Chain A
Amino acid sequence: MSNLTQIRKAENIARKKRLRILWLCFAVILVVLPLLATKFGLTILTQICVASVFALAYNMLLGQGGMLSFGHAVYFGLGGYASIHLMEYVGTGGAPIPLVLTPIFGGLFGLVAALLIGSFSTRRAGTVFAMISFGIAELVAASAIILVGFFGGEEGMSSDRTMGPSFFGYEMIPQIEVYYFAAVWFFLATFAMYYFSRSPAGRMANAVRDNAERAQFIGYNPQKIRLVSFVASGFFAGIAGGIFAIQYEIVTDSNLNTAASGLVMLQAYIGGIGYFVGPVIGAIVMTLLNTVVSGMTDLWLLYTGLLFIGTVLLAPNGLTGLIMMHTDAYRNGKLSTLVKPYLIGLIPLTASFVGIISLVEMFSHRNEQTVGDDVMPLFFMNIDVSTSEAWIAFTILSLAGIIGLRFTIPMVRTAWHEANEALTLPASPTKQEGAKNE
């Protein structure tokens, strides 16, 4: 037995142990979180579960398989519509199926749709795939308006989740029960998607993403590999659609149009497509923007766009990439040395953020207001946009923040490099676990 075999076996055991702990933590968080949440919070948490499953499914294509889809909401939406039909069927006494199983039905519907469409769209990756996905998305979105029988036209389709037979006394009437229903499916789907990514088909999806030509010369048909990923992704997108259908009891064309497809792409990308958990982080952040921030300001879409552009330009590995930048420092035991520089760096960053956002909000208020309504709430204050004091104050704050950043960024950078340095010394090779592309 070679040395590497022993190392691999030891690493494998450690890995499995670590994974078991992670899964347990994940489950505990899902169980405990709603106990801390308000009713509104509970709705948001449920929404995060749906968005996370969908974003993870999307990333099976983009991150793992190198397929940029502009139309993945099609499978989410079709899964959702199918689920509504199932709920309606069960509700009118068609069959005694417990509705907690709805997502499986949505998933199978998404799977079949993905199999049909994927059979030709996965022939190529890259631009061809992206264009086909966009075309299909437009086609299905248009059909959703026209084909009233299945899609219900512009009003969409609605049903009632409480009409089915109860599942061991579980009827999904209060929101907390809906949350736990979503959380269980979130957990199951994440589990399945993770183990898919570790399977031969999942690993080969990475290989085909990197170099489809070479994959052909080690026995794999790249199209089939892409199709397997695509179908699996359609299945999980359909599951997400099924959870959504249960939560909202209505699915409309806005759930499968290109805007919905764009949103999931943003979520996956902002979270970080190179990491398995990336899309979940993106889904959490975007859902919060979508629900909490949208309640505070009409400009939330602007901030979403800025966040996306900022991610593409400054953190191409997404928010998860920013977190994972610190694994080396953590391994070196130097993470604590970063706290002080980060806190100092946070001051001008916050100042410039508050300053610029305030100016933008005030500008927007001045243009959108009804005449005479000059006072607006902003960061726990009431600001009068007609006077120049506030304008001057926030301009100074922004400038001070930006100037401050010029001084703190090099300091933060140096501190980060110092914290990571020890690893550049030739350590024993087994210690370099490196960035794993999981």
Chain B
Amino acid sequence: MNNAISLTDLRKSFGQMEIIRGVHLDIKKGERHAIIGPNGAGKSTLFHLISGHYQPSSGSVILNDEEIGGVMPYDIYRKGLARSFQVTNIFPNLTVYENVRCGALWACGHGYSFWQQVENLEDVNLKTEEILEKINLTHRHNVPASLLAYAEQRALEIGITLAGGADVIMLDEPTAGMSIGETEQAVELIRSVTEGKTLVIVEHDMGVVFDLADRISVLVYGEIIATDTPAAIRTNKLVQEAYLGTEVTADA
């Protein structure tokens, strides 16, 4: 199979409310796949279901030919899926350097080791420095993460996600709240660091979506109403209706 992620009739209810109502979706290996949809459509819930934050009510989630529905988040991460969060989710009292280093520890195979010193783990430290360089935070490496500016925290959020070198990267609104300049930088960053990987991204900024994605899925009221190339999505009648008549354009 050449699907990185495959969802079959995935459902999630909270009490009486069914938020995800039978999602079918195949995300190919190596593609950049965007999920868009109006507010409250269930995009973040879908992310939580794939990454193990929530357990599916029914249906299946397959990551690289392996069922991961109901698997704990850390086990899913160990199978090669890393995600970021919509609301910045970092380690506030640790320095920027340590934040990224924590992200690299497991992937470098150090697990729960208590007999080594992090300073001596050359592989982890080199990886950390490589990521810091990429996310442009090298000069801030010694600052506690809580003192970073908002855009820097967003970059750090992505850095922690990337540090483990997972094959499947899921980013939940990585550019939310950024200025135009910061967004451009973030898109370039995402493009470069996901080279040769599978990217799943939730994003409100249509400019970012149409710029970055190979394929787009539109999620409305817990169902995928269309999955196609950006050009085809743009002209899709159903999608246009879902956005209440507003046209889905690159500058929306």
Contacts and interface: CB of A to CB of B under 8 A. Distances in A.
Contact of A434 (B51, B144, B161): B144
A213 B142 CA distance: 23
Nearest to A432: B142
Interface string B75-104: 001100011010001111111001001110
B176 to A, nearest CB: 17
A435 B139 CA distance: 16
A224 B114 contact: no
A196 B144 CA distance: 22
A317 interface: no
B116 A206 contact: no
Nearest to B112: A201
A11 to B, nearest CB: 9
A177 B89 CA distance: 52
Interface in A220-236: 220-221, 224-225, 228, 232
A433 B129 contact: no
A196 B114 CA distance: 6
Contacts of A211: 89-92
A200 B116 contact: yes
A200 B142 contact: no
Contacts of A206: 91, 93-94, 98
Contacts of A195: 117
B132 interface: yes
Interface string B177-216: 0000000000000000000000000000000000000000
A12 interface: yes
A203 B103 CA distance: 11
A228 B98 contact: no
B24 to A, nearest CB: 25
Contacts of A203: 98, 101-102, 105, 118
A198 B118 contact: yes
B117 A199 contact: yes
Given A211-B92, A221-B72, A232 B102 contact: no
A225 B132 CA distance: 25
A371 B117 CA distance: 65
Contacts of B85: 214
A434 B133 contact: no
Contacts of A12: 119
A3 interface: yes
B250 interface: no
A433 B142 contact: yes
A15 interface: yes
A204 B102 contact: yes
A397 B37 CA distance: 72
Nearest to B163: A218
Given A198-B117, A201-B112, A2 B138 contact: yes
A337 interface: no
A4 interface: yes
B118 A221 contact: no
A434 B142 contact: yes
Most chain A CB neighbours (cut-off 10 Å) among B90, B94, B117 = B117
Contacts of B245: none
A214 B89 contact: yes
B164 to A, nearest CB: 6
B115 interface: yes
Contact of A228 (B89, B94, B114, B116): B114
Q: Which 4 A-B pairs have the closest CB atoms?
A: A219-B106, A210-B91, A216-B73, A201-B114
Given A203-B102, A206-B98, 7 more contacts: A2-B129, A198-B117, A200-B111, A200-B113, A217-B161, A218-B106, A228-B114
Interface of B: 51-53, 72-74, 77-78, 82-83, 85, 89-95, 98, 101-103, 105-107, 110-119, 121, 125-126, 129-130, 132-133, 138-144, 160-161, 163-164
30 contacts: A3-B138, A4-B133, A4-B141, A5-B126, A8-B125, A15-B119, A198-B118, A200-B112, A200-B118, A200-B121, A202-B114, A203-B98, A203-B101, A206-B91, A207-B102, A213-B89, A217-B51, A217-B83, A217-B161, A218-B77, A218-B102, A218-B103, A218-B105, A218-B164, A219-B164, A228-B112, A228-B114, A434-B95, A437-B95, A437-B144
